[in-house]
Structure 1
Amino acid sequence: MGSSSDRSKKKVQLWKKAFIHFSLCFVTGFFTGFAPTTTTASFFSALHVFARVNTSLPPELLSPPAPFPTSAAPVESNLRDGRQLILITTTRSDDPFSVAFLQRLAQTLRMVPPPLLWIVVGARSSAPATARLLRWTSVMYRHVTYGENFTDAGAEAHHQRNLALAHVEHHRLTGIVHFASYFNSYHPRFFDEIREVEVFGAWPVAMVSASRKRVLVEGPMCRSTKIVGWELKDLSNGTVMSRTATFGAESSDGRESESTARINISGFAFNSSILWDPERWGRPSSVPDSSQDSIRFLHQMVLEDEAKIRAIPADCSRVMLWHLHLPGQISP
């Protein structure tokens, strides 16, 4: 009797345990249904929404993006397409605004279709800071330095430009050279235009001075696509003066000579092969090397043969480059 009663009690206890276990599972499942959706559910629902969005997009937007090309690839492909290399040379000074404006110029050059090479020349003392700035620009560049000390900013800028041309000549970098100032602003189509230059190209440059509240436009006078002279326009009073062209230096206050029209250093471009193959362009074979003054050689060529200069734009009717003049600034 005792053994049978013990067995019945054990059966009852087993049923109770089973019932309690079942009840706990039921309650857990019941309340789980009211809980927020899990991460997995959210993930699959997001995939579902993404699939529905994809079906509404045009096919060309759904194709995978092309891999980012290496620095050498665009140069080769674009040269095959006939797109000339643009060689931008920039001088570097200790002007307090130079870093900010150099960064702004870098942003402009990033938007120019390749191939483009930026040659930045600066003193060896400022080389580390300049190198750090150039590394993040995503522009293909070469950094040229020198150890000489200068007390005259204009003479230093002239020396820097000659160093840039010596670098171009030494490495036979074939392309169109433009002396860019980091105080320049450019029309979006400017760089497309100078790629069409064969020998020389020239264009109007607007000199903007906030402190003097005036705008001067200096550059070529055109008859159709031909350059027939040089002029200076003062847009603040509407006067136009036809003058003899020169590459004379600008004074420290930004004033121009009354007898000549200064051709802005940023107002012309040229084919770099002139530096090492002048006979190709009808010049004597005596070419200035790195120990001579290449800048003066180029100035002489521009002033002697206007017929070979390409007007940019074709009728010189539009300003595509603006130069901001700051008080006490020597144009870099």
Structure 2
Amino acid sequence: MASIRRAPFAAVRDRPSKGQSLLGRPAQSSPSLLHGLRCLLGGLPARRGPWRRSFLRALLFAFLVGFFWGLFSFPDLDDAGSLAPPHGFFFDPVRSANATAAEEPVDPFSKLLIIVTPTYNRASQGYHLNRLAHTLKLVPPPLLWIVVETKTATLETADILMRSGVMYRHLVCRKNTSVSLHRDVRQRHTALKHIRHHRLDGIVYFADDDNVYSLDLFERLRRIRRFGTWPVAMLSQSKNKAILEGPVCSGGRVIGWHTNEKGNNLRRFHVDMSGFAFNSTVLWNPKRWMYPKDAIELLDTVSEGFEDTGFIEHIVEDEHQMEGLPDDCSRIMNWRMHLEAKNRVYPRGWQTSKNLDAIIPLK
């Protein structure tokens, strides 16, 4: 009896007719592909030589190894964000061809400036605080503005601070300040206690709200290591001439003083309260500077005009521990004006309801 044997690869050798599509025969292509893979992997006896079967197996193995190696060998490069700098921005390496000036190195760890401002209710308070706020807003951070009022924190001052755009702390001095002579001293003392309690690390500067300051002053404050001082220009009590008070320097060293004092009862250091700044660690880390354990404070029991020099004597022993700013102390970086309307207070909420009638009415 005649037998008919079908060749194993007949399905592969078949070709579609002229009007037949390849997509119309999916059922025949899949078994053929599986049959070929089984033959390749040794599931069925192959009609080709063993050397060819070994070669195809090696080729398939190399392909699989390369495929999985490419997937898992570089996990750190799968996201372009991992190549970005830590600050999230890129620097353009292209520089101007005519740039000849050497670039100054930027210190990313700038010292904190702690600006202490005592203030009180008077007619020009809003003007002075707003002017100082605009000045401090131009100073590069970090900067902390500590504003101290007496008895209670007023809404008017709080509103100015909230709108200033400067990091601030609004404190209240609750001690008896009926004597205006010692009011500023006790307010500054309240700020020093706050700095000591919270161990704020930076450069402390007493900036009254009625003075005028240059931005260069705040830039140089960050260069102070322990205690820095500079000359201050001010108007005389008669307001008809300008006087100078502060250090005479040579190469950053204090070698003398500008003063207008006369007589034998002279201050030890001829420095205005706005003419010096110091490292805040002298308040809460005296061991670093080899100070006694007694707290450094502003005293309100000394005579008028001696509060500043008495405070400085607790920080430094003599002029050798001072740093003159700038090196030759030849620049005026702040002015003390003494311009106030005495016995006048600001209107509540900075608004007035009196004297609003027109003096010259429009026709």
Structure 2 length normalisation: TM-score?
A: 0.58
Deviation for aligned residue 1:148: 3.4
Q: Please identify which structure carries the higher strand content.
A: 1
Q: 2:51 — aligned with what?
A: none
Q: 1:8 — aligned with what?
A: none
Deviation for aligned residue 1:302: 4.9
Deviation for aligned residue 1:124: 3.5
Deviation for aligned residue 1:82: 2.4
Which secondary structure state, in structure 1, belongs to the residue aligned with residue 215 of structure 2? coil
Once structures 1 and 2 are overlaid, which stretch shifts more, 189-198 or 223-232?
Answer: 223-232
Structure exhibiting the larger radius of gyration computed from Cα positions: 2
Q: 2:169 — aligned with what?
A: 142
Q: 1:310 — aligned with what?
A: 323
Deviation for aligned residue 1:284: 1.9
Q: 2:337 — aligned with what?
A: 324
Q: 1:108 — aligned with what?
A: 135
Retained in 1: the 8 A contact 2:272–2:308? no
Q: 1:75 — aligned with what?
A: none
The one-letter code matched in structure 1 to 2:285 is D
Deviation for aligned residue 1:187: 2.0
The one-letter code matched in structure 2 to 1:227 is V
Q: Distance in 1 between matches of 2:259 and 2:298?
A: 33
Instruction: Pick the aligned partner of 2:193 from 133, 141, 166.
Output: 166
Q: Distance in 2 between matches of 1:83 and 1:114?
A: 8
The one-letter code matched in structure 1 to 2:152 is S
Retained in 1: the 8 A contact 2:231–2:329? yes
What are structure 2's unaligned runs of at least 5 residues?
1-87, 90-105, 302-306, 344-363
Retained in 2: the 8 A contact 1:203–1:311? yes
Which secondary structure state, in structure 1, belongs to the residue aligned with residue 224 of structure 2? coil
The one-letter code matched in structure 2 to 1:222 is C
Instruction: Pick the aligned partner of 1:120 from 141, 147, 161.
Output: 147
Retained in 2: the 8 A contact 1:87–1:178? yes
Retained in 1: the 8 A contact 2:227–2:278? yes
Once structures 1 and 2 are overlaid, which stretch shifts more, 111-120 or 218-227?
Answer: 218-227
Instruction: Pick the aligned partner of 1:197 from 212, 217, 224.
Output: 224
Deviation for aligned residue 1:278: 1.6
Which secondary structure state, in structure 2, belongs to the residue aligned with residue 90 of structure 1? strand
Q: Does 1:269 align with 2:277?
A: yes
Measured against aligned partners, the alpha-carbon deviations of 1:235-278 in whole angstroms (never above 9, x if no partner) come to xxxxx9899963xxxxxxxxxxxxx7742111100000000112
Retained in 1: the 8 A contact 2:271–2:308? no
Q: Distance in 1 between matches of 2:243 and 2:273?
A: 15
Distance 1:298 1:282, change over 3 A: farther
The one-letter code matched in structure 1 to 2:275 is G
Q: Distance in 2 between matches of 1:282 and 1:243?
A: 32
Retained in 2: the 8 A contact 1:230–1:243? no
Deviation for aligned residue 1:297: 6.6
Retained in 2: the 8 A contact 1:232–1:261? no
Q: Distance in 1 between matches of 2:125 and 2:310?
A: 28
Distance 1:140 1:242, change over 3 A: farther
Superposed CA RMSD in Å reads: 3.3
Which secondary structure state, in structure 2, belongs to the residue aligned with residue 125 of structure 1? coil
Q: 1:89 — aligned with what?
A: 116
Q: Mapping of 1:1-332 within 5 angstroms?
A: 81-209=108-236, 212-232=239-259, 246=267, 262-288=270-296, 298-302=311-315, 304-326=317-339
Deviation for aligned residue 1:282: 2.7
Measured against aligned partners, the alpha-carbon deviations of 1:199-219 in whole angstroms (never above 9, x if no partner) come to 000000000359521101100
Distance 1:242 1:321, change over 3 A: farther
Retained in 2: the 8 A contact 1:163–1:290? no
Q: Distance in 1 between matches of 2:222 and 2:197?
A: 22
Deviation for aligned residue 1:197: 0.1
Retained in 2: the 8 A contact 1:226–1:307? yes
The one-letter code matched in structure 1 to 2:184 is A
Deviation for aligned residue 1:328: 7.3
- Percent identity over the alignment is 37
